[in-house]
Amino acid sequence: MSPLAHAIAAGNAVIIKPSEYTPYTSALLKRILSKVFSSDQVSVIEGDHEVSTALLKLKFDHIFFTGSPMIGKVVMKAAAEHLTSITLELGGKSPVIIGQSANISNAAEKVMWAKLLNNGQTCIAPDFVFVHESVQELFIQQCKEAIKKMYGDDPKQSKDYCRIVNAKHFARIQSLYLDAVKKVVRCIQEEKWI
């Protein structure tokens, strides 16, 4: 929505193609925006990858894409065909560093909020936390407290705790998790959180 606001403020017409993995969100977005804007100002196009492919054959003044690096390459290649300027928001490896003088409770709350916002399915979710060894155990405990504060004693029952968008992405994340635990990661968990 932020790129949309900027484009509208600059006087542009906009076509939005939301992810096919979130059809309810796409439908809601289309319903809301069609009440606010005429279709020649903002148009929400729903559909699968074939719709995206067809859109990418059109000439645009600018393309803003947020998503995976793999699809970002496809979008960039299509934009190059028309020499269309492009913004790729592909996420990154947002590390967090927590030193021994940090306010550990505050840091834990902020890290857990950022990581669990939309179940980590945001471009800027922290992927790594580097914690000074002198405050590591306190940080872990405060993270558990922050999760309880946000989602209760059993996060699986919380209406505020988001779920992974589909089974394919769940399997991908589960595979990454199991590989990390097998190799190096010290797993800190309570069964009811998984």
Measured between alpha carbons, how far is 172 from 160 in angstroms, rounded to an integer?
Answer: 23
Work out whether the CA dihedral 28, 36, 65, 120 comes out positive or negative.
negative
Q: Do 19 and 26 touch, CB atoms closer than 8 A?
A: yes
Q: Which stretch of 63-72, 114-123, 132-141 has the lowest confidence by average pLDDT?
A: 114-123
Is the pLDDT at 192 greater than 60, yes or no?
no
What is the CATH topology of the domain spanning 2-89? Answer: Cobalt-precorrin-4 Transmethylase; domain 1 (3.40.1010)
**What percentage of the chain reaches a pLDDT higher than 90?**
62
Confidence of residue 137 (pLDDT cuts 50, 70, 90): very high
Q: Which residues are catalytic?
A: 89, 123
Highest-scoring range by mean pLDDT, 11-25, 112-126, 159-173:
11-25
Which amino acid is residue 186, in one-letter code?
R
| Arithmetic mean of pLDDT, 58-64 | 96
> How would residue 194 be classed by pLDDT, with cut points 50, 70 and 90?
very low
Round the CA-based radius of gyration of the chain to a whole number and report it: 20
- Superfamily in which the 104-193 domain is placed by CATH: Aldehyde Dehydrogenase; Chain A, domain 2 (3.40.309.10)
| Least confident span in 39-53, 78-92, 138-152, 175-189 | 175-189
Owner of token pair 């309810």:
24
Q: What is the mean pLDDT of the chain?
A: 90
The continuous run of DSSP H or E covering 44 comes out as: strand 42-44
Fold identical between 2-89 and 104-193?
Answer: no
Q: Measure the CA–CA gap between 191 and 74, rounded to whole angstroms.
A: 40
| Domain spans in the chain, listed from the N-terminal domain onward | 2-89, 104-193
What one-character-per-residue DSSP string does 51-117 give?
HHHHHHTS--SEEEEES-HHHHHHHHHHHHHTT-EEEEE----EEEEE-TTS-HHHHHHHHHHHHHG
